[in-house]
Amino acid sequence: MTSIRQLSEQDRKTRAVANEGLPTLGFEEGTPYDDYVGTAALHGLQHTLTDAPEELAFLVTTQVMELYFGLLRTEWRLAQRQLDDDDIAAATLTIKRTVRHFEALNAAWAALSWLTPAQFNSFRDALGEGSGFQSALYRHVEFLLGSKSEALIRPHRRNPEAYEELVEALNRPSLYDSVLAMLARSGYAIPRAVLERDLAAEYKPSPEVEAVWAKVYGGPLAPLAETLIDLAEQFSDWRYRHLMAVRRSMGAKPGSGGSSGLSWLERSMQREIFPELWSARTLM
């Protein structure tokens, strides 16, 4: 990969004058754009398994979603470090940025909204047991949001790197755990049982935490609370759009990965993240 020569603001002004306002057209090797984005590598990743014209859109959309999962993971880890440092303003901005990422991620479902059962069936058999359920990065995203289950990391035992990362994520604080710990340090009455709970276990809503959030909304941390609600809403939208895409393209048929398909996704939608942020609204 050709190294990209960095330019200063003055360099760009000088270049614009020399080019008489036109873009630079000559490069000794590949264009800096291709070098930075890695376009050759990106466009070399689409290997369809059938001649069905619909498969490429399915594959590209799935790959785009995987890139967004990785982006969200990186951003939420940053937000956790900021929360651990009690830099609440920075953490709020980071989480707010991921709400926009999620909007783009959710919009990606539109690229498959036209997929009919006949079109999906034209390449579905070639996917074998491949299923989005098996995405290690999506599972990591769920764990970071506090939706945890030890059983769901088992498909990755043959992939040591992914498995180790998921085991670590399972046993580390979620983004919500980091928020609650910050609230405790800020003087809010988060119960010790919540702070010292088994982090690998599914989070159970607490009436005491619910009461804390009702108080938070009357203070300076209200913007953080609303940003978390925005994120939770986008995640719920993701699950709903996934459900509807499956319902439209395959109905209630069994899933490729061995699940019951539609009913499995319907049960998954019932697992709420940041639960007390929702229930506290009844107390306000």
Q: pLDDT digits over 87-128, tens only? A: 999 999 999 999 999 999 999 999 998 999 999 999 999 988
Q: pLDDT digits over 159-212, tens only? A: 999 999 999 999 999 999 999 999 999 999 999 999 999 999 989 999 999 999
Q: What's the pLDDT score for residue 251?
A: 80
Domain contains 191 = yes
Domain contains 10 = no
User: Is 124 annotated as a binding-site member?
Assistant: yes
Q: Which residues contact 271 (CB under 8 A, 6 or more apart)?
A: 147, 202
Q: What's the pLDDT score for residue 119?
A: 95
- The tally of domains found in the chain comes to 1
Domain contains 151 = no
Domain contains 32 = no
Read off the CATH number of the domain in which 278 is found. Answer: 1.20.58.480
d(CA 225, CA 233): 12
DSSP state of 28: S
Of 50-59, 129-138, 223-232, the range with the lowest mean pLDDT is 129-138
Q: Exposed, middle or buried by CB within 10 Å (0-12, 13-18, 19+), for 33?
A: exposed
The pTM of the full predicted model, rounded to 2 decimals, is 0.91
What is the extent of the structural domain holding 217? Answer: 50-133+174-283
Of 118, 132, 156, 138, the residue nearest 59 (C-alpha): 132
User: Over 70: is that where the pLDDT of 264 sits?
Assistant: no
User: Is 158 annotated as a binding-site member?
Assistant: no
Q: pLDDT digits over 123-164, tens only? A: 999 988 887 778 999 999 999 999 998 988 998 999 999 999
Domain contains 15 = no
Of 118, 73, 123, the residue nearest 251 (C-alpha): 118
Of 166, 175, 171, the residue nearest 197 (C-alpha): 171
Domain contains 24 = no
